[in-house]
Every structure is written in structure tokens, then in C-alpha cells.
Amino acid sequence: MELSEHVVETKQIYDGNVVHLRVDTIRLPDGRESKREIVVHRGAVCIVAITEERDLLMVRQFRLAAGRALLEVPAGTLEEGEEPHDCALRELEEETGYTAGNLEPLFSAYLAPGYSTELMHAFLATGLFKRESPAMMDADENIAVDRIPMTEIDRLIADGELQDSKSIAGILTALRLVADR
């Protein structure tokens, strides 16, 4: 089976700050045509930050798309030309006031590949230390930092207190990695 789709026409719909929207007309391997609505996104990082006490440094932030504040790992969008590694250190410090002695890539994964180009680079941050003068928070965000014991994760997922897919993926991948150490 040929797994591909050829774009025969692209229509630009919207050019925003975070998302761009286009609609592609595609030709399927059997010759039929269909439409694909594509949200174009610059890509992002998320950071699973684990303290010496085996707590996770997490954030609570109001998410209009969810209609409420969500518990998430620190995360943010790549700036133009920014390397994921640098973005991860910047976002960790902006959102938590901490920086990391060690930053290791966990995986890169699409968040919603049915319609979004967003590729998320997940990192494990350890060797954490608080900055003397924390970077300014992003003026457009209201974020509260929370420490979550690693032992609470299964309960938070099962009880619906952790409802962010990238955070579940990142944390559980990190736990498998650090369990071997």
C-alpha cells in the first residue's frame, strides 16, 4: 500500500501569531481528491524537570482552549531560528525560575498530526538550580509553579488531574529512563 498524498492545490486561510491555517487539496494513491486542513506551527519544546528530591517541577496555567487552568510540564514555542535545546533552557527558566545542569533529549513527537504540523521536542532536565535573578516571566502568561512528587503520577493520570498529553508522554518516558539509573 502506498502511504502518501500529493498536494495539488494549497489555499492560505489565516496567518496568525501562533497558528497559520491552510487547506490543501490532495490526490490519494487511487487518484481521488480530498481536502486536508493544516495548522502550521513553528514547533515547541517541553521539559520534564526532576529535582534531587524526585519531585517534578510543573506549572499551572490558564488555557482558554481548555476553559480552565491545566497542570503541565514547562513548555513553549520555538522562536525563529532557535535550537530546541536553547529553547528548553529558556522556557524552563522563564516559567519556573530554575535552570538545569543537565538537559537530555527524550523524544520529538507530533502532538496532533491529523491537522497540526507542530513537532514537540521533549527534554529531561536534572541538576536543577535556582537562578539568583530569575528571568522575567512572559508578560502574556500567568503561570504558577508546582512541585509534584514522582510517586503521585499514576494517581494524577487516573484521577484526571493531569490532562495534558505531552506532559503524560514526557513524564512517563523520563520515569522509564531514570528508573534505570
In terms of CB distance, is 52 or 107 closer to a second copy? 107
- Total residues at interface with a second copy (CB under 8 A): 72
In the region spanning residues 115 to 134, those forming contacts with a second copy, defined by CB under 8 A, are 115-120
In the region spanning residues 80 to 99, those forming contacts with a second copy, defined by CB under 8 A, are none
Interface with a second copy, residue 65, by CB under 8 A: yes
CA nearest to 57, candidates 107, 96, 1, 3 = 96
Interface with a second copy, residue 178, by CB under 8 A: no
Residue of 9, 29, 131, 147 interacting with a second copy (CB under 8 A): 29
In terms of CB distance, is 135 or 175 closer to a second copy? 175
The strand pairing partners of 9, in sequence order, are 25
Q: Given its phi and psi angles, is residue 167 left (phi above 0), alpha (psi -120 to 50 degrees) or beta?
A: alpha
Interface with a second copy, residue 176, by CB under 8 A: yes
Residue of 89, 109, 135, 178 interacting with a second copy (CB under 8 A): 109
Interface with a second copy, residue 61, by CB under 8 A: yes
What is the b/e burial string over 127-136, where b = at least 16 CB atoms within 10 angstroms of the residue's CB?
A: ebeeeeeeee
